[in-house]
Amino acid sequence: MSRKKSKLGVFGRYVFLVIVGIVTLLPLVWLFFATFKTNTEIFGSNSLLPSHFSFDSYIKGWQGSGQFTYGRFLLNSFLLTVPTVLFTIVSAISVGYGFARFNFRGKKVLKILLISTLMLPNAILIVPRYILFTELGWNNTYLTFYIPALLGCYPFFTYQMMQYFRGLPKELDEAARIDGCNSFSLLTKILLPLCKPAVCAVGLLQFIWIWNDYFNVNIYINSVSKYPVALGLRMSLDSQAAIDWSPILAMSLTAIIPCVVLFFAGQRYFVEGIASTGIKD
Amino acid sequence: MKKKILSVLCMCAMLFSLTACGAGSDEGSENSGSDDEITLRFSWWGGDSRHQATLDVIELYESKHPGIKIEAEYGGADGYKDKRMTEMAGKNAPDIMQIDAPWLYEMQTQFDAFADLSQFEDVLDMSGFDEDFVNSHCALDGTIYGLPTGINGTYMLMNTAILDAAGIDSAQEWTWDSLLEDGAKVHASDPEAYFLNLDQHSLTYHVLRPYIKQLTGEQFMNDDYTIGFTEEQLAEGLTYIKQLFDEGVMEPASESFMYIDAFYDNPIWVNNKVGADIDWTSSLSARMAGFADTAAVTKVPQMENAKDTGILVRPAQIMCISNTSEHQKEAAEFIDFFLNDEEAISILKLERSVPATEAARQQLTESGDLDEIVNSAVNLALENAGATENAISQDMQLENILTDAVENVGYGTASPEEIAKETYGLLEMKLEELKTK
């Protein structure tokens, strides 16, 4: 009796999950099919499937508008994102480690400062940052992303790493020190291998955020030759002109692929990292 | 001790990476700023075809003027204004900018952003432009800061196939009353079709505003920060909008208001189930693409004894030169080429609406590039244009209050009189706030 009941429960759970899964995936599926549709089909009909399949919109979309193809925009996105992510990881680890394991004068104040920058909305920082970058001559270069990442200007990740470090038992440090580790080799040899999930989570999240960022790149990057995908996609979206949607949707789908691949590749660590940063004993 | 060493090492690493990267960027800027070549930055927003045409003109200009390089900074309309404002605050704006005419006041007063164009008269020929037009839209206190790329006017676009099917005479002199009376026939004869398709923004801007202006004949908002109409007149305008929905002239608000700023994405528009819309000429060719053979234009509906036509004419965009530019004269030369040169005009065609100079219109008419309907829509607007709006009438915050009122009428949350009363109070409050700023 009880077995039957639990089977039914499992069935019910699966039905529920399948429904939720469909609801979550539907926009993506719609996006995929919409890349084959004409404007009239997109707006004028409710059918999910297009009337015919052809890859014209992908070819047309890839050519982009004006001087550059999406090959350039995608390459730019990688040039922008990959170093920024690496720098973020380096700064988040070193600053997080410092806050979690060392005692120094002013630690409390600095920690409060770190948290308060976390609360500061990005929009407020735009103009002062822009003026600073202009003075330094960094505008229209990816330095506007690299340097803040290197200097720990993404406090969310620093905080995340700090919490993770704090969750690791201090006994490990003591044992390592007895075996002759200094602070640096303690970090690289003992703590970092244990931090793999958190580091992956930082990397993945930052990759997706920078890859999809529109506002900051729009402000700091001027030359079309340096546009990442996010800017490239909006290039032909004029408020007044008629927009041919299918090439844009086709390129949107293409732009999602790196993020999706990365997410599935690192998914195990990603979920683990997010879930365990809050735990402390 | 070890801690200190580590921290010193970290500092060194960071400093090193800073200087290394800094050196890299310096090289880059040296290359672009060499003496024999002048680089001008030129920014605009638009769609694919405008980008391509503009890039072609730039290429042509560069081939004719060796030593001048024009760096194109183009993109979609989204975020364009934010970016330019940030650049102006950082004194790093492009040398040549395409901006929207209503931004001029804000940008010039806040950032002193633009150069006076009259000082370049020897290289920039302004004789082809209508003086009143330039003075009222591209100038502040008599100083000209920009030149219009094209003319934009309001008009009503009709799909005669829909009107004929419902037995409506499309050639009539349209009044608000006849629009209400005849408009109802479309939905009555075909339950899927409606006479008028607009979203809440265009309904406010192209119906409520002209309606009230025709009642009053005054500026919408007065220069002394008072309202240019009475509460009763606002109630009358809102009642008219309520009737549009009640009589089935427009699709119910719950459907049509979903397509904010994009009523041409509404399925009834895409499927050619709409009789008319009222909008700017700049987007005319795109909007009539689905029914080009049966498209017709007429002026914005008028009421009997209208005191002002309420029809607006303004530049499509304006071209400005940055006040912080080091090569203003070269920038002026480029603008002259961009707006006056025959070859440039033949490439740009109608990408920035119907050109503002008579010579360019003539040229495009002869070459057959000036579409008959677009031209007549612009002429209709020009011939019947009402008073030019003052700056305060174009304030977006006031416009949003009115849009809210129109939404409330559309959704039927209260009677038009009640909504008018509340809205009038909100407008007065906002004006008071703007005045003290």
Domain ranges for chain A, please list them. Answer: 68-230+256-276
Average pLDDT estimate for A229-235: 87
Q: How many contacts does A have with B, using Cβ atoms within 8 A? A: 133
Q: Which residues of chain A make contact with B75, given a CB cutoff of 8 A?
A: 218, 224, 227, 231, 234-235
Lowest mean pLDDT among A82-86, A87-91, B7-11: B7-11
Contact B10 A94 (CB under 8 A): yes
Task: Tell me the residue ranges of DSSP E strands in B256-350.
Answer: 274-280, 295-298, 313-315, 318-321
Q: Write down the pLDDT at residue B418.
A: 95
Residue A4 confidence (pLDDT): 63
pLDDT band at A142 (very low <50, low <70, confident <90, very high): very high
- Between B24 and B396, residue with greater pLDDT: B396
Which band of pLDDT confidence, cut at 50, 70 and 90, is reported for residue A233?
confident
pLDDT given for residue A124 in this prediction: 85
- Percent of all residues in chain B with a pLDDT value above 90, rounded to a whole number: 62
Residue A277's pLDDT band (cuts 50, 70, 90): low
A265: closest CA of chain B, how far (Å): 30
**What is the CATH architecture of A68-230+256-276?**
Orthogonal Bundle (1.10)
Are A100 and A166 in contact by the 8 Å Cβ rule? The answer is yes
Contact A238 B74 (CB under 8 A): no
Work out the pLDDT band at B254, boundaries 50, 70, 90. very high
**pLDDT surpassing 70 at residue A239:** no
- Residue B192 in 3-state DSSP? coil
The whole-angstrom distance between B364's CA and the closest CA on chain A is 20
B14 pLDDT higher than 70: no
Say which CATH topology domain B38-148+318-351 has.
D-Maltodextrin-Binding Protein; domain 2 (3.40.190)
Q: Which CATH class is domain B152-313+385-436?
A: alpha beta
A254 has a pLDDT exceeding 60: yes
Instruction: Say yes or no for a CB contact (<8 Å) between B17 and A150.
Output: yes
Residues of B in contact with A185 (CB under 8 A): none
**H/E segment holding residue A136:** helix A122-136
- Cα(B210)–Cα(B279) distance, integer angstroms: 12
> Is the Cβ pair A184, B264 closer than 8 Å?
no
- Give the pLDDT confidence of B357-416 residue by residue, as tens digits: 989 988 998 998 888 888 889 889 988 988 888 878 888 889 999 999 999 999 999 999
Distance CA B304, CA B329 (A): 51
User: Chain A closest CA to B419's CA: distance in Å?
Assistant: 30
How far is residue B433's CA from residue B271's CA, in Å, rounded to a whole number?
Answer: 45
Compute, in degrees rounded to 10, the torsion defined by CA atoms B129, B131, B132, B135.
Answer: 100
Question: B270 and A139 in contact by Cβ < 8 A?
Answer: no
**Which member of B17, B55, B90 has the closest CB to residue A130?**
B90
Q: Output the pLDDT for position A67.
A: 80
- Give the model's pLDDT for residue B435: 87
CA distance A16 to chain B (A): 30
Distance CA B423, CA B414 (A): 12
Average pLDDT over residues B3-18: 48
Q: What is the pLDDT of residues B80-97, one digit of tens each?
A: 998 999 899 888 899 999
Query: What is d(CA A196, CA A204) in angstroms, rounded to the nearest whole number?
Result: 12
Would you kindly state where each structural domain of chain B is located, as residue ranges? 38-148+318-351, 152-313+385-436
Is pLDDT of B1 > 70?
A: no
pLDDT tens by residue, B133-191: 898 889 988 899 999 999 989 999 999 999 999 999 999 999 999 999 999 999 999 99
Which among B216, B265, B269, B211 has a CA at the least distance from the CA of B242? B211
Looking at beta carbons, which residues of chain B come within 8 Å of A224? 72-75
> What is the average pLDDT score of chain A?
86
Minimal Cα–Cα distance from B417 to chain A, Å? 34
Are A147 and B18 in contact (CB < 8 Å)? yes
Q: How confident is the model at residue A242 (pLDDT cuts 50, 70, 90)?
A: low
B29 has a pLDDT exceeding 70: no
Q: How confident is the model at residue A273 (pLDDT cuts 50, 70, 90)?
A: low
d(CA B99, CA A15): 54
Residue B286 pLDDT > 50: yes
Please tell me if the domain spanning B38-148+318-351 has the same topology as the one spanning B152-313+385-436.
yes
Q: What per-residue confidence (pLDDT) applies to A3?
A: 60
Higher pLDDT, B15 or A207: A207
Closest CA to A232 of A114, A120, A66: A66
To probe the interface with B, which of A41, A62, A65 has the most B CB atoms within 10 Å?
Answer: A65
pLDDT band at B227; cut points 50, 70, 90: very high
pLDDT band at A63 (very low <50, low <70, confident <90, very high): confident
